[in-house]
Amino acid sequence: MRVGFALPNLGRMATPDSVRQVAQRAETLGYDSLWTVERLLYPLNPKTKYPATPDGLLPEFYKHVLDPLDTLTYAAACTKQIALGTSVLDVPFYNPVVLGRRLTTIDVLSGGRLKVGFGLGWSQDEMDAANADMSKRGALADEFLDVMKALWTTNPVEYHGKFYHVPKSFIGMKPVQKPHPPIYLAAFAPPALERLARKADGWNPTGIPVAAMAQMFGSIKQMAKSAGRDSSKLEMIVRANLVITPKPLPQDRGIFCGTIEQIKEDVEQCRSIGAHEVIFQPTDADSPSALADWLAELERDRKLV
């Protein structure tokens, strides 16, 4: 099982020096991948409440954000071998042709190290700011992925759908990875899981108990098989949002919450259900000691896998 770590593109530690130090230290320690997250804005009076806080507001560190793709480009220049991924980009914020060219550029400049995680987003405030229609997210996603693959694998490119039209054209370059960089979806609802089974290379779940992940991944594989795909090639990349406590939490604790020993149990259970990779995401990115804490976390978490 591979192991990944978050790049600090959120919070006050989202600085060039922090990104460079975390990226280079992770590569030295033998991590397989580095990942960025997306946050478009921090609404002061959110229409969609954040589910993980009592007042529905986002954590403070979401007020300071580096673009996930530009951060990966910088990390690519600071490293040599480690993979670079997004967990996740929100499809409704982007045009697939423009985004596809940016992603291709990262893959080319990094020598074929890009991994792309997509989601549909959840914040109405962000959708409004991006001029996106939340009710069409699913339908858009199907065509979005088709356009992206056409851009990456055909030359010249041509696509005509309900939402996107690309005239027969030569567009940019092609990715180093063939047929294209791996695509992972952060899917949870049945239609999204079915889309994953038809169109993606893997699943990027977070916050789901191990038993439920095993059941859902089994369903994804079965749907992929029914769609005529080789289900054995689908990957599960588990995002571990860490909440580390000094004392053990009760049995009904959330996954990746508790002592290091409890988190190690979660990691081993992910391995036992066939997870291909676990991505560790520390939660504190705003304290004065955040960088030192993340570097220490890098050392400690590497021993868990």
Q: Where does the pLDDT of residue 247 fall: very low under 50, low under 70, confident under 90, or very high at 90 and above?
A: very high
- 238 vs 118: CA distance, rounded Å: 14
Beta strands in 78-187 (DSSP E): 83-90, 114-119, 157-160, 165-169, 183-185
Q: What is the structure's pLDDT at 287?
A: 86
Reported as a single tens digit per residue, the pLDDT across 137-165 is: 999 999 999 999 999 999 999 999 999 99
Helices first, then strands: H and E counts in the chain: 9, 12
What pLDDT is attached to residue 283?
A: 86
The tens digit of pLDDT for each residue in 159-175 reads 999 999 999 999 989 99
On whether the CB atoms of residues 145 and 114 are closer than 8 A, the answer is no
Dihedral sign of CA atoms 47, 49, 54, 59 in order: negative
Q: 65 forms bridges with which residues in the sheet? A: 10
Every domain of the chain and the residues it spans: 2-302
Average pLDDT, the chain: 96
Burial degree of 95 (CB within 10 A; 0-12, 13-18, 19+): exposed
Query: Residue 285: its pLDDT value, please?
Result: 84
pLDDT of residue 49: 95
Given a cut of 90, is residue 298 above it in pLDDT?
A: yes
Q: What percent of the chain has pLDDT over 90?
A: 96
- 257-283 average pLDDT score: 97
Averaged pLDDT, 42-66: 94
List 280's β-bridge partners, or say none.
Answer: 5, 240
The span from the CA of 201 to the CA of 196, in Å, is 8
pLDDT of residue 193: 97
How confident is residue 52, by pLDDT bands cut at 50, 70 and 90?
A: confident
Q: What angle do CA 164, 165, 169 make, to 5 degrees?
A: 135
Segment 240-264 shows an average pLDDT of: 96
CATH number of 2-302: 3.20.20.30
The encoded tokens of residue 247 equal: 């004392």
Residue range 55-106, pLDDT digits in tens: 999 999 999 999 999 999 999 999 999 999 999 999 999 999 999 999 999 9
At residue 51, the pLDDT reads 87
- Amino acid at residue number 265: E
CA distances from 256 to 51, 66, 137, 242, 293 (A): 17, 25, 29, 5, 17
> What's residue 81's pLDDT?
98
Residue 288, pLDDT above cutoff 90:
no
Neighbouring residues of 295: CB distance < 8 A, sequence distance ≥ 6: 21, 22, 25
